[in-house]
Structure 1
C-alpha cells in the first residue's frame, strides 16, 4: 500500500445507492399476504413498486439509502463528509440531492439524464419496530466507475462502500476501482455488508472483496454468519480477524463487538424505546467512523456507534432528529 503525507480533506466519502424512502406502518398479516420475508430487503421492479405503493398505508417520504444515511449521521457528528450515488433528473432526485446537501454532505454526482427514475425503497414497519424493505433501484443501476470522483476518493481518510451496491454489476466494478484509488493514496476502505440476503446473492464476490480490499468491515450478526456460512459466531469472528484489520459486528440489543487484530471489545447497546429499526446499522457505522476520525479509542468509537444507533431506532425514519453531538458527549 502506498502512503502519502497529504492531509485528508474529507473524513468520510460514502459510495452507495441514492434512494428516497417511503415508510408506512403495516401488520405482520400484510407482509404475509404480500409474500415478504420480514426484516429483509427485496429488489422489486417497476410494476411491483407501483402495486405495493398502492396497497400500503399512508407513507412518510424521506431521503434514504444505507450509505447516504451513514454520511448524514456522520456529518451531524461533525465529520467532513461526501457522498457519491446516482439519482435521476426528476422530482425525487432533486429531493434526495437537497436533503443530503442540507445535512452537510457534499454530493457531486451528476444526475442521470433520461433512463430510469430515481430509486425508491418502500419500507413497511411492523408494530415490533422491524422494517421490511422493498427496493426499486431505478437510476442506481447506472452508477459505475465513470461516476467515481477520483479527487474526492484520494482526499478522503476513509472511503465507505455500501454492500447493497453489489446488486448492480457496474457498481461492483466501481467498488474495485474506488478501493484501488483509495489504497494508492494511502487511505482506508470500509465496507458494510448491508443485508444477509444481499450477502447470500453475492457471497463469493463479497468474500473476495473483504479479504483482498477491505480495511474496516461493518456487519450485523446475521450478515457475518451468512458471509462465512456458519451458525457459530465465534467461528465467523475468527475468520473475520484474519481478513480485515478492524471490524465492528452489531448484535441488536446485545450491543456490538469491536475487533482489531487479536483484541476485541464488547460494547453495550444504549437502551431506548424501539420505534423503527430502519437505519440502525447505518447510524452505528457513522458514529464509529466519526469517532475514529477524531482519534478516539476503539471502545469509544463503538460507544458513539451505539449512541447513534439508539437515536436512529427511537423514531420513524433513518436520518437523525436529535442533537447527536450532545448525545455522544453525555
Structure 2
C-alpha cells in the first residue's frame, strides 16, 4: 500500500495562499430579550436577514461594547492560516465581493487588512454582506445578510487570475457554491492547470445536501476536502455509500480526479482523532484536549482547523503535521470569542 504522505506532489515555488468565498462583516454585541423580541428573533437560531432586520445592523453599531471582525467561513480560515504561518501581507490574499464602498464595506476592508490579509474585493451595487451575532445570557442568535458577497463577477476574477495561478494553495467554502458554482469551478480548473493545491471546506450538513451536485461537479479539481464527521457522513449518504466513515472517506478520495495529486479527505471529530484518507491509505491523528474551563466559543473551530492545516501544508507534504497544526489552531481559537485572531504568536511544535 502506498504511503499517503509519499504519493502527493506539491508546488513549493511560492508560499502564497489565496482564499475565495463570501466575505462578511461579523458584528457582535450583547443584547436584551427586548431587543430580540423587537426583531422577532430567538436564541440559538439562525435567521437569514429580511427587510425588517436591516436596521438591526445599524443599531448594533450604536452599542458601545459591540465588536466587529471579518467573517465568512473561508475568510476566517484564511485569517487563521496567515496567523499560523506568520506570513507577510502579500503572501495571503482573499478574493470576494463587497458593496460599493458603503460603511460596512469600509469596515470590512479595513479589518481584513488589519489582520494581514490583502483584500481583493470586487464592488457591486448590493449591500455589503454581514452577520449580526447577538449574545444574550451566553446564548447567541445569528442574522446573516449575504448581500454583495454573492455577486463576485467573473470579470473581476479574471483581472486577478494570475494571483490564483501563482499561488501555492487555493481555499474555498461550499457556501460560495450557492451563488457562484460555475465561477468556483472555473477558478478551481485554472488552479489545477497551474498545479496549485486546491482545498474545499464542506461548510455544513445542509450545504452538503443543498449543493451536492455542484460539489460533485468541482470535486475532480479538489486536492483536499475538509469536513466534520456529520458533513462527511451526509456526503456519504448522498453518495450512496452505506459503509463506515473510513469507507466513505476513501470512496470520496477515489472519485474522479484531475491533476498531479491524489485527493485527500480530512475529517475532524471534535476531541476525537482527526481522520485523513486517500484512496489507498488512512490515518488517525490524536487530538490534544483543551481544559473545558478554558473553552469560550467552539463556533469557529472548523474554520480554524483548516487554517492551521493549510498553513502547515506550505512547509511540505507531512499530513500528520498538518493535522496537528490544524488542531493546535482550533485549540487556540476556541479559547477566544468568535473568530478573533489571538494577540500572541503561535507556539506550534510538531
- Confirm or deny a common fold (TM above 0.5): yes
From 127, 141, 157, give the equivalent of 2:168: 157
- CA apart distance, 1:10: 4.5
Instruction: Using the TM superposition, name which of 101-110 and 304-313 deviates more.
Output: 101-110
1:173-184 matches, within 5 Å, as 173-184=182-193
Q: How many pairs were matched up?
A: 317
Secondary structure of the residue aligned to 2:305 is helix
Distance in 2 of aligned mates of 1:222 and 1:159: 24
SS of the counterpart of 1:156?
Answer: coil
Could you tell me which residue of structure 1 aligns to residue 77 of structure 2?
70
2:320 equivalent to 1:286: no
Corresponding position: 1:83 with 2:103: no
CA contact (8 A) 2:83 2:345 kept: yes
How much does 1:234 deviate? 3.6
Partners of 1:50 and 1:281 in 2: CA distance: 31
Q: Determine the structure 2 residue equivalent to 1:268.
A: 287
Give TM-score scaled by structure 1 length.
0.84
Confirm or deny: 8 A CA contact 2:84 2:329 kept in the other structure: no
Q: Does the 8 A contact of 2:18 with 2:163 survive in 1? A: yes
CA shift, 1:100, in A, is: 1.6
* Distance in 1 (alpha carbons) for counterparts of 2:284 and 2:136: 32
1:176-235 superposed Cα distances (whole Å, 9 cap, x missing partner): 11011101112121101111122222122123322x221111111121122222785344
Are the counterparts in 1 of residues 12 and 314 from structure 2 also a CA contact under 8 Å? no
Q: Does 1:116 align with 2:135?
A: no
Query: Structure 2 vs 1, CA of residues 235 and 124 (structure 1 numbering), >3 Å: closer, same or farther?
Result: farther
1:48-59 map, 5 Å: 48-50=53-55, 59=66
Select the residue among 332, 336, 345 that pairs with 1:315: 336
- String of CA shifts for 1:239-293, please: whole Å, max 9, x gaps: 2232361121111222421223413132314414221123211111110011110
Mapped pair 1:226 → 2:226: no
Gaps of 5+ in 2: 1-8, 256-261
Confirm or deny that 1:13 pairs with 2:21. Answer: no
Take 2:31 and 2:229, find their aligned partners in 1: how far apart are those partners? 25
Aligned pairs for 1:203-242 within 5 A: 203-210=212-219, 212-229=220-237, 232-242=244-254
What is the distance in 1 between the residues matched to 2:254 and 2:53? Answer: 42
Deviation readout 1:75-104 (Å, 9 max, x if unpaired): 112243111011111121111111222222
RMSD (Å), alpha carbons: 3.2
Q: Deviations over 1:97-153 (max 9, x none)?
A: 1122222222222333xx211111123467777x65331101112113223221000
Query: Does 2:275 correspond to 1:257?
Result: yes
Whether the aligned pair in 2 keeps the contact of 1:42 and 1:133 (CA below 8 Å) is yes
Q: Check whether the contact 1:166–1:172 (CA below 8 A) recurs between aligned residues.
A: yes
Q: Distance in 2 between matches of 1:82 and 1:139?
A: 19
Point out where structure 1 has 5 or more consecutive residues left out of the alignment: none
Aligned-pair distance for 1:300?
A: 1.1
User: Is residue 2:182 matched to residue 1:166?
Assistant: no
Q: Is the 8 A contact 2:128 2:149 kept in 1?
A: yes
Distance 1:200 1:275 in 2: 30
1:45 corresponds in structure 2 to: 50
2:42 and 2:327 map into 1 onto residues whose CA distance is: 32
1:27-64 deviation digits (Å, cap 9, x = unpaired): 99x79x746775xx554334345469869x97432221
Q: 2:109: which partner in 1?
A: 97
Q: What secondary structure sits across from 1:67 in the alignment? A: helix
